């Protein structure tokens, strides 16, 4: 799948690419786990990443 989530110039296309040795990586992984188990139980991890990419892009447009 061609799913990309850009965080600080890094493109994440798979959950295994999240660096869980950093505080930010652990928070991102925990947030994704919470989203997928509580509110988006019918979505795959890739679908949730795509939703987050869309939301991040909208947030970036609001900053301008």
Could you report the per-residue pLDDT of 1-43, keeping only the tens digit for each? 455 555 455 667 788 888 889 888 888 888 888 888 888 888 8
Calpha distance 45→59 (Å, rounded): 21
Domain extent for 56: 5-63
- The average pLDDT across 51-63 equals 76
pLDDT at 56: 76
pLDDT at 21: 92
Dihedral, CA of residue 2, residue 13, residue 31 and residue 54, to nearest 10? -40
Q: Is 9 left (phi over 0), alpha (psi -120 to 50) or beta?
A: left
Q: Which residue has the tokens 């992984």?
A: 29
User: Per the structure, how many domains does the chain have?
Assistant: 1
Is the full-model pTM beyond 0.75?
A: no
Calpha distance 38→12 (Å, rounded): 22
DSSP state of 16: G
């Amino acid at each position: 799948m061609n799913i990309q989530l850009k965080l600080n110039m890094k493109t994440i296309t798979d959950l295994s690419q999240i660096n869980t040795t950093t505080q930010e990586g652990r928070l991102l992984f925990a947030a994704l786990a919470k989203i997928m188990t509580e509110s988006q139980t019918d979505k795959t991890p890739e679908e949730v990443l795509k939703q987050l990419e869309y939301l991040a892009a909208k947030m970036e447009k609001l900053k301008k």
